[in-house]
Amino acid sequence: MSAAGPPQGANSTPSGGSAAAKPPAWGVPHHARVVVVGGGIAGASAAYHLTKLGLTDVVLLEQGRLTCGTTWHAAGLVGQMRATRNATRMSRYGIELYASLEHETGLATGWKACGSVNVAKTRERMQLMRRQMARARSFGVEFTWLTPQEIAQKLPLLRIDDLEGGVWIPGDGKANPTDLTQSLAKGARARGARIVEGVQVSGVSAHNGHVTGVQWTSGDARGEIGCEFAVNCAGQWAREFGALAGVGVPLASAEHFYLVTEPIAGVATDMPVIRDPDGYIYFKEEVGGVVMGGFEPVAKPWNVERIPERFEFQLLPEDWDQFEVLMQNALHRMPCLETAPVKLLLNGPESFTLDGNFLLGEAPELRGYFVCAGFNSSGIANAGGAGRLVAEWLIGGEPPFDAWDVDIRRFAPLHVNRRHLADRTVETLGLHYAMRWPREELSSVRPLRRSPLHDRLRDKRAVFGTKNNWERANYFLPERESEPAATLDTPGWLAWMLDEQRACREDLVVFDQSSFSKFVLKGRDALAVLERLCANRIDVPVGRIVYTALLNARGGFESDLTITRVAANEFFILTGTAQTTRDFGWIESHIGDDEHASLVDVTSAWSILSLMGPRAEALLSSLSHDDVSKAALPYGTTRIVDVGYARARAARMSYVGGPGYELCVPTDQCVTLYDALCSEGTRFGLRDAGYYTIDALRIEAGRRAWGAELSPDETPLEAGLAHAVAFDKPHFIGRDALLRQRERGVAKRLVQLALDDPAAFAWGGEPILMNGVPVGEITSAGYSRKQGRIIAFAYARSHGHDAPLTDTMIAGARYAVDIAGERVGATLATARR
Ligand SMILES: Cc1cc2nc3c(=O)[nH]c(=O)nc-3n(C[C@H](O)[C@H](O)[C@H](O)COP(=O)(O)OP(=O)(O)OC[C@H]3O[C@@H](n4cnc5c(N)ncnc54)[C@H](O)[C@@H]3O)c2cc1C
């Protein structure tokens, strides 16, 4: 392959190159409701959607010129399929927008619905694709399977002799990133937005925790714009720009490559986009040649310390060594590249996040400060949906649907550590095309957060996974066994996990659940705050635990958690490991200025050991002088008790079902407590157990999990949790919506299903069919030892849009689960109301 010629074509530097932008002698107002910072595709889309939704007092400030950051050099692939229904809905919306924008603004977007072909080289990849496409069908994405021969007919330049097959997605396409951005900007301007280039935002002012303005500079000029909202669309600068206002935006740049060839005979202008994930590469047609790029498994972070302030229409030096792995695979897949003259090996920086997903929404640190960044090389495809989501969120005050997978609140202050970001970025860029095995754990930046028991559990052969960077035991390896390989089928650890289940149901296990998020709310008005926020009644005697939902105004779950009243004006709040930032922010933001209540995050101060199983009381009694019997400590209550030398708050309750205690102990006594339990526990058959067991048993016990069965899109009536709603309370957030829904009836309801075929294995996310029609996906699945098969939660939905779903409809329906295209019958286990 020969390298020659200057960069040209649709992605080349716009005329003017890295021109110094003209000073904005005019155009920067003194006030605007919203200031959008950054004029890449994200900023243009945010401004477009804000104005489209009627908020027209918008100013967009760009330090260079529109698109000059990362957007101008993107390859422009636009695909629809993403991991979840809502994310796919967002990207499909983007495609509709890109296809129609020219008609609205008069500026072309370069949108071309050329479709895409994804090919699979291995049996496992094909199996993964079948699972993904089962979901695609359920999401309404059109596709057709292709044999290797059909791939060859469609794409004669591809080598197919080692392919298992592929899939054709006709609705996918490509766009010109620069034209698209200009078109969005024109649409925004037409509705009143002001877009000013050559102006850098140098600071954000705030008062009482709310944005009040931004400072700007341009050459020698400087000034301030008073505003209610700032939207950080600063691309790879978003982390540093966020830091100016104390907002954590955990993203880092990595070098990202594609190669552009001169025209090649046989490359048709309507050639579909080709993705070969096993080779980490993609191809698209451009000006009769080929653009070939990809996502190498070991990436190269760029300038994680500090992104240069001026980096307009610039690229990074070629790095053929880094590109080698992609190049080799490309030459194999498209042999004609061997002799094609290369115009350019483009190397441009792009932002990547810690989990490969975007960073959207209102920052927990500052009200009125929104982020729309961290696109992991899919910002062109997703800016349409992301800009709309952020605009709706800003205007409506909350996300319009469950957006947890892209919500910036899934991260915490620890995540902006630059070494963490750099080391994780090496791994996350490659996730784009990597085989994603179910329950696969990322391997970089580990261990980071450790319970005091970490080393003890490691020595007992725990296999750890992570959540919110906490190392947590997933299961325990028996002696002489080694960790089984990842699979899409029945996993090698199943038998060991089932033995943990047996111990929990028949003897006794201990789970280290120290990673739970924990807060204390204290003060004269603490009860009033919680009564307003919680759907359940919180005014209970001291020592009682209440399970409750925190609802939004639509009646959807912002969280579900337990609250222990530890004193008249003091409450201990226990919530999910992943939700620290989100739940803390939700509760804190609802404490009125005139209310006397303070919230403290005590996650690291307390550890939690769950002692579960029929012999729990016997063990605890043998270690304590306190009475821990059912009479002294009934279900749903707590007491401070001695356990060995430790003092712990024992709560009689169980997430996994069956008898047991949660022991909440100061972190400095955690090891002492654990050692006491273990030394005495041998007599009672005590063993350690992990999160896979917790998850399977909680499904068996009918316990819902936030982030799976519960989200802002589901209400307690739909989730079968009406019993935890105190409708007789005169007021709590979400009450009115629930009352209306109760009146109307619900159109979807959580059901528990058991797969008819004991050998079938579902992991979660598989579509379910009700009377042959896809109605949703499995929210959680686990193998139940008791039932000898997979049991799962899923939402049944009525087909008549909002028509109520009755008991008779649920009980009378036929259920099936689509596992990689195979329909497996399922039987209704419960349909709680
Ligand atoms: C090689 C390569 C190929 C790619 N291919 C694709 C693809 O095929 N499909 C796809 O979907 N995505 C692709 N991407 C990713 C895509 O380009 C990005 O996700 C997207 O462009 C990000 O847009 P953005 O608006 O967030 O960032 P940017 O385009 O970088 O915009 C941010 C802007 O903010 C401005 N700014 C920063 N700080 C300030 C400040 N303080 N004041 C004022 N202005 C400021 C910057 O000057 C910049 O213009 C690719 C990326 C690369 C590098």
| Model pLDDT for residues 335-383, shown as the tens digit of each residue | 999 999 999 999 999 999 999 999 999 999 999 999 999 999 999 999 9
Ligand 1 atom at minimum distance from 382 CA: 11
Residue 832 has a pLDDT of 40
Ligand 1 midpoint to CA 375 (Å): 8
pLDDT of residue 518: 98
Determine the distance separating the centroid of ligand 1 and the alpha carbon of 225, expressed in angstroms: 24
Q: Whose CA is nearest to atom 19 of ligand 1?
A: 379
pLDDT at position 7 is 32
Residues with CB under 6 A from ligand 1: 37-43, 61-64, 68-71, 73-77, 200-201, 233-237, 241, 256, 258, 293, 346, 348, 350, 373, 375, 377-381
How many angstroms is it from 5 CA to the middle of ligand 1? Answer: 25
Task: Give residue 67 CA to ligand 1 midpoint distance, Å.
Answer: 7
Ligand 1 pocket test: pick from 71, 216, 280 the residue with the most ligand atoms within 8 Å of its Cβ.
71
Q: How far does residue 39's CA lie from ligand 1's centre (Å)?
A: 9
HEC string of 189-238 equals HHCCCEEEECCEEEEEEEECCEEEEEEEEECCEEEEEECCEEEECCHHHH
Token pair 């190669």: residue: 259
Residue 432: closest CA among 233, 279, 261, 253? 279
Ligand 1 atom closest to 349 (CA): 53
**Ligand 1: residue whose CA is nearest its atom 26:** 235
Please choose, from the candidates 229, 218, 179, the residue with its C-alpha nearest in 3D space to the C-alpha of residue 66: 179
The tens digit of pLDDT for each residue in 99-138 reads 999 999 999 999 999 999 999 999 999 999 999 999 999 9
What is the pLDDT confidence band of residue 688, given thresholds at 50, 70 and 90? very high
- Which residue owns the Cα nearest ligand 1 atom 51? 74
Residue 84 has pLDDT above 60, yes or no: yes
Residue 389: name the closest of 376, 402, 377 by CA: 402
Ligand 1 atom closest to the Cα of residue 376 is 19
* pLDDT on residue 802: 72
Residue nearest (by alpha carbon) to ligand 1 atom 16: 379
Nearest residue by C-alpha to atom 33 in ligand 1 = 38
Residue 73 has pLDDT above 70, yes or no: yes
CA 378 to chain centre: 15
Position in ligand 1 atom list of the atom nearest CA 346: 1
| Distance from the alpha carbon of residue 12 to the mean position of ligand 1, in angstroms | 15
Please check the confidence at residue 23 and state whether its pLDDT lies above 90: no
Confidence class for position 3, pLDDT limits 50, 70, 90: very low
Q: Percentage of the chain surpassing pLDDT 90?
A: 94
On the question of pLDDT at 258 being above 70, the answer is yes
Residue 230 pLDDT greater than 60, yes or no: yes
Calculate Rg over the CA atoms of the chain: 28
Q: What is the pLDDT of residues 623-665, one digit of tens each?
A: 999 999 999 999 999 999 999 999 999 999 999 999 999 999 9
pLDDT at residue 245 tops 90? yes
CB 21 within 8 A of CB 197: yes
Ligand 1 centre distance from Cα of residue 233 (Å) = 9
Give the residue carrying structure tokens 């528990």: 752
Å from CA of 116 to ligand 1 middle: 23
Q: Tens digit of pLDDT for each residue in 503-558? A: 999 999 999 999 999 999 999 999 999 999 999 999 999 999 999 999 999 999 99
CA 351, CA 377: separation in Å to the nearest integer?
7
CA distance 45 to 57: 15
Query: How far does the centroid of ligand 1 lie from the alpha carbon of residue 359, in Å?
Result: 13
For residue 832, the CA-to-ligand 1 centroid distance in Å is 47
Going by C-alpha positions, the residue among 276, 377, 289 that lies closest to residue 330 is 276
Q: Across the chain, what does the average pLDDT equal?
A: 95
Statement: residue 2 has pLDDT above 50: no
The whole-number average pLDDT for the span 232-241 is 98
- 7 CA from centroid of ligand 1 (Å): 19
- Interval 490-515 mean pLDDT: 98
Confidence band for 26, pLDDT divided at 50, 70 and 90:
low
Answer for the pair 769, 808: CB distance below 8 angstroms, yes or no: no
Q: Measure the CA angle with vertex 575, ends 520 and 398; round to 5°.
A: 95
Mutational test site, ligand 1, from 311, 377, 406, 408, max ligand atoms within 8 Å of CB: 377
Of 23 and 570, which is predicted with more confidence? 570
Q: Which region, left, alpha or beta, applies to residue 258 given φ > 0 means left and ψ of -120 to 50 means alpha?
A: beta
Distance CA 539, CA 525 (A): 12
pLDDT score of 8 = 33
DSSP state of 22: P
Alpha helix locations (H) across 66-105?
Answer: 85-105
Least confident of 148-157, 694-703, 725-734, 794-803: 794-803
Q: Answer yes or no: is pLDDT of 12 > 60.
A: no
Out of 70, 77, 302, mutate this one to test ligand 1's pocket (max ligand atoms within 8 Å of CB): namely 70
Of 564, 561, 569, 560, the residue nearest 598 (C-alpha): 569
Instruction: Cis check for the bond before 447: say yes or no (omega within 30 of 0).
Output: yes
For atom 3 of ligand 1, the residue with the nearest CA is 74
- Strand runs labelled E in 711-771: 748-755, 767-770
Closest C-alpha residue for ligand 1 atom 50: 74
> Residue 824: helix, strand or coil by DSSP?
strand
For the chain, counts of helices (H) and of strands (E): 18, 39
pTM of the model: 0.95
In DSSP terms, 466 is beta-bridged to 471
Instruction: Write the residue with the smallest CA distance to atom 35 of ligand 1.
Output: 38
- Which atom of ligand 1 is closest in space to residue 42's alpha carbon? 25
Instruction: Decide which of 244 and 15 is more confident.
Output: 244
- CA dihedral sign, ordered 215, 216, 221, 223: negative
